[in-house]
Structure 1
Amino acid sequence: MIESILHNQGAFAGSEAKGSKALDKDAFLRLLVTQLQHQDPLNPMDDKQFIAQLAQFSSLEQMNNIAAGITKLTEQAASQDMLSAAAFMGKEVVAAGSGLSKEKGAVSSVDFTLQGTATEVQVFVYDSSNNLVRTEKLSGRAAGTYSYAWDGKDDQGTSLPDGRYSVTFAATDAEGTPVLVSTAVSGRVTAVERTEDGVTRLRLADGRTVALSDVRTVTETSTAATEQE
């Protein structure tokens, strides 16, 4: 019966359709009232049908309340993340990441960890548009953590402009089997920011950013080291 009312009440249904394809609890209640107003007095709505529609209304209201509660919890969690992240200001952090930063000729480094012995390690550097700008081959290494320092140049030896870059590693053992490689970045936290998708990130002194959830270790920064920067 609700569907027939929607067709008969063109203006009302049209206004709801323009605003949203889904009916909220207020629209549902208005439909229910309209249905009662337009029912045949000689053939009123069946009690069971009316009770069923009231149950639908109650369920819809509960779902809306749950959705509102989840939204509020999400907002509170985001605010709590920002407050928690503020405690990282001025401290040195190590976080999962593969970003590189080049500023005034200085290039940040990235640590990479080999989970097994690798006879060959390839390095791929990408610019902010995800274009491959540099490929390098490193000598074989035993399992462990190493630091990679890019010289800021492309494959032709041309110095690339300042900006944000990223690096990936591909390692294989003597049999050509891939070796798992993980990467991490480190630096002093200078700012806390929240992205459009709600992720709290820490901005490092060299301009790189890392997600708060990716932080692995946090250490105090000495006053002398901070003053030197």
Structure 2
Amino acid sequence: MDYSSLNATTSSGNSSGLLSSSTQTKNAAETQDRFLKLLVAQMQHQDPLNPMDNAQVTSQMAQIQQVTSLSTVDASIKNLGMQLGQMQAMQSVSLVGHDVSVPGNKVRVANGQVQASFELDGAAGAVKLEMLSAAGQVIDTVQLGAQGAGRQTFTWNAGTAAAEGADLSYRITATNGTAPVNAVTYTHDTVDSVYNAGGRLMLALTRLGPVDYTSVAAVN
């Protein structure tokens, strides 16, 4: 696997993206120095009949300290964000070769079966699974019975309904009495590679192609 694009982004972040502590200190010192020069100039040119009182000077000194502190905090937060992004990139490499779950309903028959999952917002008294052909026609209906809230995984045996390697889709209809229960469907696919696209971490999946790293709901 070629990690060059991912590594290039990570190296760039280390060399130019992170602000060193010495740079932060220098920027804060320059800001404070400019303020002090302005304050001295203001005091030198103040109206002698209406000079600045101690409260004004103290207030302005407190303001510059706040600005300096906020500047340092902002730089620290940016550094932290960059470091977390680099950690995320390194962690994503470990997904290569593994199956992941992402939102969707596209599936493929493998070894005579289809494996996928769905998530229910609440408990359902009845859950119906419908397998659809590439043309969107129902080729099989399975009653999954009562299901609890949360993630549920199912295995569908294709039998003679679909050939090996066939690309299908599915839908879930869940009810609790007469009330519908919302269901989010997930498809399982294998991660082939990891790359960076315009600052976004992407996964290349075997069947589905590129998906955003943040769309991964589970590692199977």
TM-score grouping bracket, smaller chain normalisation: 0.5 to 0.7
Paired position in structure 1 for 2:118: 112
Deviates more, 1:134-143 or 1:177-186: 134-143
| Residues 134-153 of structure 1 aligned to structure 2 (within 5 Å) | 138=141, 140-142=143-145, 143=147, 144-146=152-154
State TM-score, norm by structure 1: 0.53
State TM-score, norm by structure 2: 0.54
Report how many residues are paired: 162
| Structure 2 residue 94 is matched with structure 1 residue 94 | no
Deviation string 1:81-136 (CA, Å, 9 cap, x unpaired) is 101111222x122224226499xxxxx98533565342556899xxxxxxxx9697
Residues 51 and 113 (structure 1), Cα distance of their counterparts in 2 relative to 1, 3 Å cut: closer
Uncovered stretches (5+) of structure 1, i.e. residues with no partner: 1-24, 103-107, 125-132, 149-165, 219-229
CA distance in 1, matches of 2:66, 2:141: 62
Query: What is the deviation of 1:194?
Result: 4.5
Q: Percent of aligned positions with the same letter in both sequences? A: 25
Q: Which AA in structure 1 matches 2:186?
A: A
Aligned 8 A contact 1:121 1:170 in 2: yes
Residues 33 and 145 (structure 1), Cα distance of their counterparts in 2 relative to 1, 3 Å cut: same
Deviation string 1:13-51 (CA, Å, 9 cap, x unpaired) is xxxxxxxxxxxx579827645644542133221112111
Paired position in structure 2 for 1:178: 180
CA distance in 2, matches of 1:208, 1:109: 20
Query: What is the deviation of 1:205?
Result: 1.6
Aligned 8 A contact 2:107 2:188 in 1: no
Of the candidates 46, 50, 58, which is equivalent to residue 39 of structure 1? 46
Aligned 8 A contact 2:99 2:188 in 1: yes
Q: Which AA in structure 2 matches 1:204?
A: L
Higher strand proportion, which one?
2
Query: What is the deviation of 1:138?
Result: 4.9
